[in-house]
């Protein structure tokens, strides 16, 4: 599948709902007693997504006769950065999560063309932009 299917687009864009909804909650209810739970939920969901983004590279290289060690190593880095962001928590964790989302996009931008997946980059950019803006705005709403 060289281009995103309708199903992958639907699932990808639907995957933005938790990012946007949790960020919006912090905007609408800035003094909520659930603020810490919402931040934790946002971090946990973001970590799930960046772990998925890293794992894609394992899937790509597993198709090769000689798997690329650098892609295998990169495939675990987002999960480790996500784990660190969870340990840091709140504002610092959200900022690291935002940076990791963009780091994942930069790596995909470099790697996807090598696998004939350039057509996926527009969707990847859009998903990264909306997710990272939601997370970054949560930093502002959190204060």
Where are the domains positioned within the chain? 35-142
φ/ψ of 90, rounded to 5, equals 25, -125
pLDDT of residue 86: 94
Q: Tell me the mean pLDDT per 10 residues along the chain, length 143.
A: 90 98 93 91 97 96 91 96 94 96 98 95 98 94 74
| Helix, strand, coil % in the chain, rounded to nearest 5 | 85, 0, 15
CA distance 101 to 95: 10
User: Which SS3 state, helix, strand or coil, does residue 72 take?
Assistant: helix
pLDDT of residue 30: 86
pTM of the entire predicted model: 0.94
Spatial neighbors of 35 by CB under 8 A, at least 6 apart, are 26, 29, 142
């Amino acid at each position: 599948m060289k281009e995103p299917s309708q199903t992958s687009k639907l699932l990808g864009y639907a995957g933005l709902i938790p990012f946007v909804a949790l960020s919006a909650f912090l905007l609408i209810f800035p003094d909520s007693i659930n603020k810490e739970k919402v931040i934790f939920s946002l971090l946990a969901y973001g970590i799930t997504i960046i772990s998925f983004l890293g794992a894609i590279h394992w899937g790509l290289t597993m198709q090769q006769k000689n798997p690329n060690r650098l892609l295998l190593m990169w495939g675990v880095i987002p999960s480790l950065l996500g784990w660190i962001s969870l340990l840091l928590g709140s504002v610092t964790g959200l900022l690291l999560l935002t940076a990791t989302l963009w780091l994942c996009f930069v790596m995909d931008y470099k790697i996807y063309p090598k696998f004939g997946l350039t057509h996926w980059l527009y969707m990847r950019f859009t998903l990264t932009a909306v997710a990272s803006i939601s997370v970054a705005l949560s930093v502002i709403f959190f204060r």
